Structure formats: structure tokens, C-alpha cells
Amino acid sequence: MSSISEAGVVTSVGKELFIGGKWVPATDGKTFPVLDPSTGESLCEVADASPADGVSALDAAVAAQADWANVAPRERGEILRRAYELLIKRANKLALLMTLEMGKPLAESKGEITYAAEFFRWFAEEAVRIDGGYAVAPNGSGRFLVTKQPVGPCLLITPWNFPMAMGTRKIGPAVAAGCTMVIKPAAQTPLSMLALAAILAEAGLPEGVLNVLTTSDSGGVMEPLIRDGRARKLSFTGSTGVGRKLLEQCADKVLRTSMELGGNAPFLVFEDADLDAAIEGAMTAKMRNIGEACTAANRFYVQRGIVDEFSRRLTERMEALPMGRGTEEGVVVGPLIDEAAVEKVSGLVADATERGARVLTGGSTVDGPGNFYQATVLTDVPKDARLASEEIFGPVAPITPFDSEDEAIAAANDTEFGLVSYVYTSDLKRALRVSERLEAGMIGLNQGLVSNPAAPFGGIKQSGLGREGGSVGIDEFLETKYIAVAL
């Protein structure tokens, strides 16, 4: 990895808009900077799309849709397979690029590239498994034919925290289903998506199938496309607040939607749990991606008999985590994405301590350049603390004791969110009881990581609509058509 130049890897990426298979500047010539969150310095400038550029991108997607839908499923799958192989081959360079723009340590960036590539491999195989049906009408007078077709041009919006994987998780099933796309990556981390667009073109994706808009004005560029009427689906990953606004906009043209929104994941540890496994799971669920993940453990509920021991051991582990720029060897805690993220985390911790929570380690920002916040453990966190209801998106673990199973479940479910919950127990009956009662789309049972391209990812309540990944992920990009046949 050390032989790869930081400047070289940034220079190698296209900085313009990718529309109709070509790299083009923004129509008004505007650009915006991409900042290194560990230093605050600019890495480069990228094209700043205007609403007119958005229309051009949708024009390209609409123009390519009919021909792309007629491409054989096997060929669509082979394109994804070739893109998978290119991602794996270039994982080191892509990981460095991701670390520079997002901040996570190189080891985690490398892991994300591998994870991202797996979505392409998975959906390459799903492309040839799109099925239908044939049945005799109940009265015997006719036949039912059922087929599935691509939903049509799609609008995709991805977040900054997993800039490659959130792209492949949407692009993979869209390509497999035969849909064209306009994708807008987050302004903080556009370089990974621009690199991905070049890889897909190299893998043989036809012109106009994927169009990439980088912009500092997400709402101004995307809302006209949502209300245009020619796009038929919106897939969004981001905050619940933004998701609500997008749903309102989609209602105007009755766009099909997939929404992977915010989380407030509870992490339940019962007295009969394997404590070693629980601590390992807690570190994974809390500190993956520096805590900047919708699946991150947000609230730790630990049974009273072991809460002191759990708190002590978690504190020791968090204190030992090396912090620094993600490119430095051995670093585990990188910077948060921007100053606003640091201010949010600082405010949540201050609110909790003012209400009686105790800081066992961390609890403050770090002097010097970059958006760093210490790995933090809080205990005796009261129920009315903002930490209990707001998504932290940072390296802070708030611990609250509980006495009974019912109390733990009630606390876990006391949220508008329902993305993922984590449960640690050695009692099989309890594991099943609690898992069934928790209001979440995903359960981590004795493990701190639930994400897998082969599994359906998504939440309930205000954590979203639809599922990504797994055998159901491609269905989000397909319409079911019924053909009545008279005999």
C-alpha cells in the first residue's frame, strides 16, 4: 500500500460528470472541493452539477433504457462479474482513495472494497434467475402468465459513510434487472463513485446505462428529476429526515421507492451471555466505520449483574484504540467526516453528562487539525438523554443497566427507528423470544455484524422501506406483469 501515491490515486480519478458514457464538465463550469477529513485540506475539485446537468443525465438514462432492457440477462451478469474482478484487482488503490476522502482506516477501506465487490458478484448470479410463472385459471378457461420486467430508469442517491458499497448495493441489482440509472453520490465522498463509474465502463456497461452527478446542491438537482415523470424508481440511503422529504416528492409521480434510513440500534447483553463474545461484538457493532454507520450500536443495555464488568472491559478496549489519520499504520479510529459531525457528537455527550451520565473514557474532541473525536464510553446514561433517541454516528458507547427481559425489550423498542438490534445470550429460548419481540428488520444474534450481500438488508418503522441485497434485492428493480391467456 505504501508504494501507492496519495496524489497519484486522486489524479487517476475523473473529476467531471459521467453522462451518456462521456466525461463532461458542469454546464456552468462550476466545481466544488473534496476535503480530507483528517486535515481539512482540499484533495481536489470535482464538477458541480446544475439542474440542467441533471436533466441531461436523465435524458441519457431514458434514451438507453429500451436497448438495455433487451440485453440478455447473462450478458448483464457478465458485466457485473467483470466489474467485480476489477474491483478486487484494484482494491489497494481504491481503498486509499476512500480513506483520503472519507477518513476511515485503510484496513476498513480495503474491507469495504471487498464488501462492495461482493454485491456485483451476487447480482451477477441473480441476473439469470429472474423468474415468472404459468398457471391454470381456477375455472380452467384460461391460463395465467407472469413475467418480470425492469422498472425503468432509476434515481439512486448514496451516502458518504460507505461511498463504494452503498453504490454497488444499488447499481448491482439495477444492472442485473435491466434498469438504467442516474446516481448522485454524497458531496463529501464523490471520488469513489467516479472511480466506480470508470470501472463499470471498462467492464463493458453500455453508454447511458449509468450516469453520475456530483453536486453540492443535492436537492436542487435531484428534486426536478424526481418530479420529471420519466424516472420510475428512487433508491435512497441516508437520514430519515431527508427520506421523508423524498417520499413526499415521489408521491407526485407515484415513483417506486426503496429507503434505507436512520437507525438507533440497541445492543442487549444478558447475564448468561458469553462476555468475551459480547465485548468483541460490541467493538465491532460500535466502532466499525468509526461508528459512522446506520447499523452502529447506538444504545447498550446490559443486565445489572454484569454491567460493571462489561463497562470496565469495554472501556479498556476503547482506551487502547490508536487514533490518527487513516493512512497511518495501525490506526483504528480515524476522523469524523466533517466539523458538523464533531459538533453533533460533542453535543450529544454534553447533554448526557449534564443529565447525570458518567464518562469512563474519552468524551472530548482532539486538539489539532482534522475532525477527531475520542473513543468514548458513558455509563449510567438516563432515559431522557438525547443519546437514547438520536443517532450518534460517532465513536460513543452509552451504557444503561436493566433488570428484566421485558424491561430490556421495552427500552430497545422505545424508538421510532427499527433497522437492526443486537442480542447476546447463551439461552436458546431467550434468544428466540427476544429476537421475535424486537422491532427491527435485522437482528444480530451473538454477533456484531449483520451486513452481507447475500442477505436482505433493511429496516421497519422509520428506518425505511424495501430491502437491498439477498434474493429479494433484485425485486426492488422489477415490475411484475400478468398476462391473461384465453384458450
Residues tagged active-site: 260
Cα–Cα distance measured from residue 400 to residue 303, given in angstroms and rounded to the nearest whole number: 9
C-alpha 211: how far from chain center:
20
Q: How many residues in the chain?
A: 487
**Tally of CB atoms within 10 A around 347:** 12
Beta pairing class for 154-157 and 181-184: parallel
Q: How far, CA to CA in Å, does 69 sit from each of 13, 61, 151, 462, 471?
A: 29, 12, 10, 33, 20
Residue 467, phi-psi category: left (phi > 0), alpha (psi -120 to 50), beta (remainder)? beta
Tally of CA atoms within 13 A in the half-sphere of 487 that contains its CB:
10
Distances (CA, A) of 137 to 91, 140, 479: 52, 5, 21
Q: Are 305 and 311 in contact (CB under 8 A)?
A: no
Distance CA 33, CA 332 (A): 26
Closest CA to 10 of 40, 37, 42, 47: 42
Q: Sign of dihedral through CA atoms 85, 102, 193, 471? A: positive
Cell of residue 429, nine digits: 429460548
Residues 322 and 331: beta-carbon distance below 8 Å: yes
For residue 9, the SS3 value is helix
d(C-alpha 5, C-alpha 469), whole Å: 34
User: Could you give the 3-state DSSP secondary structure of residue 281?
Assistant: helix
- The helix (run of H) or strand (run of E) holding residue 424 is strand 420-424
Residues whose CB is less than 8 angstroms from the CB of residue 228 and which lie 6 or more positions away in sequence, other chains included: 55, 58, 253
